[in-house]
Structure 1
Amino acid sequence: MSVTINAHQLGRLIDKVRGHIGNEYVEILHGIRIDADATHLHAVASDRFTVAAARYQLDADQQGQEPWARTIPADWLKPLREWASAHGGGDTITISTEPGRLIFGTEHTYIRIPVTDDQEFPNWRSLLGRIAANVPAKFAFPAVDSRMLARWSDTGDVLRVHVTTDLTALMVFGENFVGAQMPKRFNGVGPSGESTFEEAIAQWPTLDGNHEALADIATEMPAENMPRWEAASSIPDMVESLLQQTLRSTSDLLGAPSDEPGAVASYATAGVNAWSAYRFLAALHQADPRLAAQTVDELAEELDAGDFSESAWEIAAKAGHDPQKWSDDYEAHLKKLAEKQAAEAEQAT
C-alpha cells in the first residue's frame, strides 16, 4: 500500500492539522492520522474538542486502491516535517506501509516511523458527516480569514459567535467584550466563487452523512487518561476547582468527629484557603484578565512541578521571615497536641 505526494503538499497537509493534535493523555489522538482512500490522501487530527482534516487528490493512476490508515505519533512530526522541508518542494515522496512502520521515501533517502498497525482512531468521516447532516438547508455560510480569527485569542476569553448572513459581519461576544469580523470574498469551491454550504459539502462525498443520531463530539471522542491529580491551567477550571474544594471542605467539616480537633482544623483551613483563593482570583480577573490567566497558567506549572514548598521557603526568607522558626513552632505544636491526646486517652481508660 503506497501513495505519492510532493514534498510541498506533504508539508501543507501536516501544517494544516498539527494545531489540532490531542495531548499525551489520549494516546490515539496524540499524533496525525494519515488516511488514504480511493481518491485522496488525508491528514487528520483531533484534540477531542476540534476535528481537522486536510486532503490531497491522488494522481489518477493511484486512485481506486483499498483504503488504509496509520497514525504518526506526535514525537515524530517535527523530524518528519524537517525531513520533508529538506527536499525541494516538487520532489516526489512515496508513503508506504510495512508491519509496524510507515515509510516516507524519495529516490535517495527515506524516514521510517514506528506505528501501531491496528491503532484505533475516531471515525472522522462519520463524525463530520453527522454534523453536516444537521445543518439547516438555508444556512448562512460566510467566508472568514483564518488569520484574522487568531486575533480573537488576545481576549483571553471564552467567546460566543453569531453568524448573521452571508455578506455581513460575524458578531463576537465575551465577558465585557464585543466585536465583529467582516467576511472575505471566497474564490474556492463553487462555480461562481461564492459557495453555499450545499456546494461545499458536495465536494466531500466520502463524508458519511447517513445517520439517525446527531453528532456530539463530547460523547464520540475517547476519554482522557489523565493522572489522578493535575492543576487547573485555565481560569474557568481554577474557579471550578476552588469552589468545589470550598464546598467539599465545608461538608467534611460538618461531618468531622468532634473529638478530632486536628481534622476539624484541617477541613476548616482548607475551606477558608480555597474560598480566599477564589476571591483573590475573581478580583484579579476583574482588574486584569490577562494577568489572571497568566498567573493561573504559571501556577499550574509550579503545582505540577511539586517544588512550590521549597519556593515558599525561599520567598519567606527573602521577605525577612524565619521559616525555620515557623517549622519548629509547628512541630512543637504537633508534639504538644499529641501529648495532650495521649494523656486524655490514658485518663479515659
Structure 2
Amino acid sequence: MRIAVTGGGTGGHVFPALAVGEVLAARGHEVFFVGSDGLEARLVPGRLPFYRVPAGKLDRTALRPGELLRAARGFFSALALAGRLRPHAVLATGGYAAFPFALAARIRGAKLYLHEQNAAFGLANRLLLPLAREVFLALPVPGARGRVVGMPILEHRYDPREARARLGLDPDRTTLLVLGGSQGARVLNQRLPELLAPFLDRIQVIHAAGRGRLAEVDPPGPGYRVVEFVEGPLAWSAADLAVTRAGAMTLAEAAYHRVPPVLVPYPYAAGDHQKKNALRYAEAGAARVVEEAAIETLPEVLAELLRPEVREGMARALAAFDPAGSALRIARAIEEVA
C-alpha cells in the first residue's frame, strides 16, 4: 500500500508522522513524507522519501495576504503531487505544513487519517476533521470523536552513562535537561542559567537552546552545557529530570523515558493547549507546573525534585502516560481500513 505521512513546522508535528511512517515502512508499505521548509526538511531526508510543497502559515489573528498567496500556491502544488504519487492513504499530524497535501490527497481519493497530539485540536486538524476517515488522539479531547492511541515517538533508549558521555557530560552526575521544544524558548534561554546556577554544585545541565539561538544563553559556569539541538532519545536517556515547555511531544518523551519534568507552558499557544497538557500531567502527579510569569519560583520546585524519592514517585506516575506502541497502533489501524 502507498501511504503518505504529512506534518511539519515543529517537532511536535514532525516526529509523530516520522515515527508512524517508519513503522509502516518496516511493515512493507511504500511510505513517503510530505512537508514544507520547517524542521521536517532537515530531519526526514535520509529516513523516508521526502517531498516539499509550499505552505502558508495562516494567522488566526490577522489577515496576511502573502501567506494566503503562499498557501494557495502550496495547495495547487500539493494537488499536482498527489495526482502524481496517488497515495491510498494519508496520515496528517497537524501544523500548517500538513494542510495542503492532506486536503489535496483527499480530493484525489486517498483515505485521510488525522493524529492530534494536544488536549485541544490545532487549526489544520480542525479544518480537516470533516474529511477524516478516522481520528487518532494522543490524549482525550473533550467532545471530540476519535480513538485515543497515545503519542507516536521514536522509541529508542540509550544507557544513561553512555548518553551522558556522548553529550560531553560527566557520566556519573545527576543531569538536568532544559528543552524549549524544537524551536527553543527565549524565556528559558535567558532566565534559566541564573536560576539554575546555585544548583551546579549538585547537578549538571544540558540545555538545548534551539536553532540559531545559542547567543540567548549565557552559561553560568562549568557543568552547564549549551547546544542548539540535541537528538531526543539521547537527551532524554541522559536526563534525571527536566525543565521544558509543555508540548505534546515533549510530554510523551518524558513519559517514555520516565524523566520527571518541571513544565513551563508557552502562554500564547493556540487554544492554550500547552497549559491544558501540563495540567493533565500535574494532576496525575507526573509533573510540576511553573507559569512563565512566575518563573522565579522554579528553584523552589527544582529543589523538591532533587530528592530521589520525589522523582521516583513522579516516574511511577509518568508510566500512565507511556506512549510506547502508539506508532504501531496507528499503523495497524490504517492497515485495517485503508
User: Do both share a fold (TM > 0.5)?
Assistant: no
Q: What TM-score, normalized to structure 2?
A: 0.24
Specify the structure having the higher radius of gyration (Cα): 1
Q: What TM-score, normalized to structure 1?
A: 0.23
